[in-house]
């Protein structure tokens, strides 16, 4: 499977994935969201040695014709394109249905018609909602506690249905909370780092008691590639997480330590999710990923998290990177 289409290639995880695939010798077609600025998102800032080493297709995942055109000539698809911001899903849920559900349907239909050999569909740990048991295995019940997570549950089920109904070779990759260089400030780790990097002593956050299982972006990328290259996992859901649970508050303190800063955490009411929508606990069981794909996190445990946070903070502290983030504005 030499020729690979990556949807959502202009985003945080997608851009890292494109670069790694190119390094591994794949022929990569990067599907980016069409815009009048001719921006390729984070791919515009890829290393110089990557320039011209991949093909770019500008389109819209909501357009079935464009999706099928982009997929022609490809052996495999890594489908990452999605709307992911939870707060934005509260007031614009219709866009999540169009992008996450219908967009995924477009990818599945095209893959079926073109005889794609392997399709890795991106899920999210948010589909589990607040953990009923930990660590969370793939058998955990699904709970749509936000319009975003509900749309991803639907997309996952659509992907599985194409495997069950038509034999489409689908793997459903379920990464837990990925972080690292280039992540949007709508996520908690970049918003903490950006505020500290801009000299703030009071860090505005939402709830600090919920726990997360943070996965460094290179581990997530390696998970996608492991799922792509294996001959196992068809029709399966597979967690990619570090198997380490940490609270948002403790994460903020680890970041402050890594950045040699003393800070005070202040609750911003605008950043709080509705009570029944907040996912209070996430902690991944990654046994299945190891058994099926031989995947294990290189940044696992508290020490791995500290290393990943240090690398992420170092990237944000570069002036050319930091200036792209608006630390004074809450980015939903």
Share the mean pLDDT of the chain: 97
The pair of three-digit structure tokens given for residue 268, joined into one six-digit string:
């911003």
The CATH number for 3-180+214-240, chosen from 3.40.50.720, 3.40.50.300, 1.10.10.60, 3.30.70.380, is 3.40.50.720
Higher-pLDDT residue of 269 and 331 is 269
Sequence spans of domains, the chain: 3-180+214-240
Residue 129 — left, alpha, or beta (φ > 0 → left; ψ -120 to 50 → alpha)? left
Q: What is the tens place of the pLDDT at every residue in 230-258?
A: 999 999 999 999 999 999 999 999 999 99
Q: What is the tens place of the pLDDT at every residue in 120-155?
A: 999 999 999 999 999 999 999 999 999 999 999 999
Q: Which of 183, 243, 245, 250 is nearest to 217 (CA)?
A: 183
* Distance separating the N- and C-terminal Cα atoms of the chain: 37
Q: Please check whether residue 282 is in contact with residue 136, taking contact to mean a CB–CB distance below 8 angstroms.
A: yes
Q: Which of 47, 314, 312, 298 is nearest to 181 (CA)?
A: 312
Cα separation, 278 vs 318, in Å, equals 33
The pair of three-digit structure tokens given for residue 263, joined into one six-digit string:
């800070």
Distance (Å) of CA 22 to CA 6, 161, 169, 187, 315: 12, 31, 23, 27, 22
The pair of three-digit structure tokens given for residue 303, joined into one six-digit string:
């020490």
Cβ neighbours, 10 Å, residue 135: 18
Per-residue pLDDT at 329 exceeds 90: no
């Amino acid at each position: 499977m030499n020729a690979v289409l990556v949807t959502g290639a202009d985003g945080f995880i997608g851009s890292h994935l494109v670069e790694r695939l190119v390094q591994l010798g794949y022929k990569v077609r990067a599907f980016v969201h069409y815009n009048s600025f001719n921006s390729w998102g984070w791919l515009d800032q890829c290393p110089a040695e990557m320039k011209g080493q991949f093909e770019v297709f500008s389109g819209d995942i909501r357009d079935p014709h464009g999706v099928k055109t982009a997929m022609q000539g490809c052996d495999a698809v890594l489908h990452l394109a999605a709307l992911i911001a939870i707060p934005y899903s509260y007031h614009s849920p219709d866009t999540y249905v169009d992008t996450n559900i219908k967009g995924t349907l477009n990818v599945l239909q095209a893959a079926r018609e073109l005889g794609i050999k392997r399709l890795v569909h991106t899920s999210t740990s948010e589909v589990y909602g607040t953990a009923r048991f930990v660590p969370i295995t793939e058998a955990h019940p699904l709970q749509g506690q936000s319009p975003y997570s509900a749309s991803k549950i639907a997309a996952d089920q659509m992907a599985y249905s194409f495997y069950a109904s038509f034999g489409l070779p689908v793997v459903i990759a379920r990464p837990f909370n990925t972080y690292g260089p280039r992540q949007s400030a709508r996520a908690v780790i970049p918003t903490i780092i950006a505020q500290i990097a801009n000299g703030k002593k009071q860090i505005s956050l939402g709830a600090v008691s919920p726990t997360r299982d943070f996965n460094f972006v290179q581990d997530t990328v390696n998970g996608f590639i492991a799922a792509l290259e294996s001959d196992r996992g068809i029709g399966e859901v597979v967690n990619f997480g570090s198997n380490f649970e940490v609270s948002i508050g403790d994460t903020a303190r680890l970041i402050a330590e890594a950045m040699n800063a003393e800070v005070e955490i202040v609750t911003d009411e605008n950043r709080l999710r509705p009570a029944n929508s907040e996912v209070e606990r996430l902690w991944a069981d990654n046994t299945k990923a190891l058994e099926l794909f031989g995947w294990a996190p290189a940044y696992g445990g508290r020490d791995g998290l500290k290393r990943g946070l240090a690398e992420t903070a170092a990237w944000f502290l570069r002036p050319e990177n930091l200036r792209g983030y608006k630390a004074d504005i809450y980015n939903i």
